[in-house]
Each structure stands twice: as C-alpha cells, then as structure tokens.
Amino acid sequence: MGGRDRSRVSHCSPPSPVAVIAIDGGNSKTDVALVAADGRLLGRTRGPGAPAPTVGLDNAIALMRRLIGEAAAQAGIELDNHRPVACHLAAYLAGVDIPPEQIAMDAALRAQGWSQTTAVDNDTFAIFRAGTTQHWGVGVVAGAGINAVGIGPDGRIVRFPAIGEITGDFGGGGDLSRQMIWHAIRDEDGRGESTMLRQAVIEHFGMTSMHEVAIAIHLGELTQHDILGLTRVLFAVAAQADPIAVNLVDRQAQEVALLARSTLYQLDLAQTKTDVVLGGGVLTSRDPLLLRLIDRWMHKEAPHAVIRVNDVPAIAGAALLGFDHLGIGADAEEQLRSALRDA
C-alpha cells in the first residue's frame, strides 16, 4: 500500500522514460498505462477483466504481461523480465479484497521484474485517487459490485471485505441485474407485481419471454457481461416512473450513502467537510435519477460529504498513486489528468 504512505516516498532514476507502470484491473476490463515522470502518457492498452480469484493468479499475470508488453511497444521499449523498465509498478485490482490476496498478487508482480518497486491494492483506491486531488477522503465504487475505502488525514485506512452478500453488500451491476430478472420473471408467472422491467429485459435480450431469458442464463448462453448490461435498462425504466425500477435505483443510492456514512464515522470525519468520490460504471453513468437519490440520501446520512463523480479513468488514479510513492508533484498530475481526459 505504498502509494498512500507518504513516509515511504522514494526516488529513482528510471531505467527507461517510464516512471510508473499503472494497472487498473476491474471485473470487466484491465487498463494499463506507462507514464513518464513529467506526466506524459507513453503507452496505454486495455484488455478484458481478469480478477485473480476468478481466472487464477497465473492467468491474471499473463494478461498483465501481454498488456504491459503492448504498452511498452507503443513507447518504443522492449519488455524484459530480467531488467526493470520502470521505477514503480502501481497495480490496483478487483479481487484484491483481503490481505492474503494482496500478498499473493504483490509477490507475483515483484517476481516479474518489471519495476524496481511495486504497490498492490484494491481498485477502489485508484478510483478514489482519480476523483480528487486530496490525499484523504472516501471513495465509493459501484461497478459490477460495490465497495468503499476511506483514508483519513492522519493516514488511517478504512476498507470493507466487499465479497458479496456474506459481507453485507448490495449494489453494483451484478446485484441490480439479478434483482431486475427476479422481479421480471415473477411478474411473468404471476408471483410478483407488474413491472415494465419484464418487457424491457425481454426486448433487451431479443427474446420472447422471461422464461427464455432464464433458461439462456442457466445454460450459459447469456454471460455475466451480457447480464451486467441490464443496468442501462434499469435506468431507462426507472425514468418512466416504474415503481419497482425506481425502488431498485433508490436502494442503490441508499447503499452508496450508507457506505460513505460508515466510512466517515470510522475515520472520525462525520462532522468534517470531506470529498466522497463516486466511481465505477453504475455511478459514473451519471444517471440523473440515481444522482438525485444519492444526493438525497447523502444529505440524510452524510450531510458534510462533498460528492464528486469521477471524471477521469481509474487508470489515472493508479498512476497518481505511483506518483505519490515517488514524490512526483502537482504539475505532472495535471499533465496526466489532461492527457487521460482527452484520450
């Protein structure tokens, strides 16, 4: 977690123009950027999501090796496992939720020899850092799943296991889409209330019934990626005031506020004006109803929060945490932010 500990700042003369190899690995995509010490973007590539708990550590490393190699080629650099090509590697990854996962990934990345130092942590930290110039505050992420982190002015860190229902979580595209399907099929067979979600889900998948949708999911003909796309359908139906859809969006908004509140209280920041950065595809969609409901719940649960919706890719946060580790300053940060906004 060296990217957040200012006492561990180090300097090095990079063995190439690359100061930081930044990796933002979500459930649905893996983003890699090679960044110079002045904030220039030297190379950037993107591939599929490959969280180690799902695909295996070796496969996750293999994907990162391929993407880093592609980014290095853009920068005119040959990736050499026996010679570092960068000062620091900053990897912020979904699936790094508990210490054993962090330790295993850190060891695997160090063994590649791509950089002189490494830092590995959950991707929520990168999303938070991308959304604020502060080095403390709260980040709440709703992408495929939901998570939150907090960093206090004194360096204290609050985090959540974020491994699903067994750790009290609800939210993100996975939970929302499953609830949509649940309500839609119960409408179809008469066990539940009528909802516009039923026809909207059927039409989204180009099928004739919710029964057909359910069988396609069961047989693996519809993938998790396909199902996650339903969040756009949810927002469209909620905009038409369908009660069940609105209630799902409202529940998501409440969960965001509750995570923020819990984190702020644990950091003794409940009465302090504090940035709460919202990231992940569900939140950065900027759905108007969702943002209004988040604002309403935040006013109730965390009235001193300053809501900031992330406006640059999370890969920026990974790179900036690398800059923090190396002691690289604000001019380079702004250069990098500008480059990634325009990318």
At residue 191, the pLDDT reads 98
Distance of alpha carbon 183 from alpha carbon 249, whole angstroms: 14
At residue 78, the pLDDT reads 87
- pTM confidence score: 0.87
Cα-flanking dihedrals φ and ψ of residue 309, to 5°?
A: -90, 125
Distance of alpha carbon 300 from alpha carbon 254, whole angstroms: 10
Distance of alpha carbon 248 from alpha carbon 120, whole angstroms: 34
194: left (phi over 0), alpha (psi -120 to 50) or beta: beta
Distance of alpha carbon 33 from alpha carbon 35, whole angstroms: 6
At residue 264, the pLDDT reads 98
> In 10 A of CB 338, how many CB atoms?
13
Cβ(251)–Cβ(170) under 8 Å? yes
Cβ(138)–Cβ(279) under 8 Å? no
Architecture of domain 134-310: 2-Layer Sandwich (3.30)
Distance of alpha carbon 49 from alpha carbon 36, whole angstroms: 25
First-to-last alpha carbon distance for the chain, in angstroms, is 28
Chain region(s) in the chain for CATH 3.30.420.40: 2-131+312-342, 134-310
Give CATH for domain 2-131+312-342.
Answer: 3.30.420.40
The encoded tokens of residue 109 equal 């990345």
Per-residue pLDDT of the chain (343 residues; tens, 9 = 90+): 344 433 344 557 766 789 999 999 988 899 999 999 999 999 999 999 989 999 999 999 999 999 999 999 999 998 877 789 999 999 999 989 899 999 999 999 999 999 999 999 999 999 999 998 888 999 999 999 999 999 999 999 999 998 899 999 999 999 999 999 999 999 999 999 999 999 999 999 999 999 999 999 999 999 988 999 999 999 999 999 999 999 999 999 999 999 999 999 999 999 999 999 999 999 999 999 999 999 999 999 999 999 999 988 999 999 999 999 999 988 999 999 998 876 6
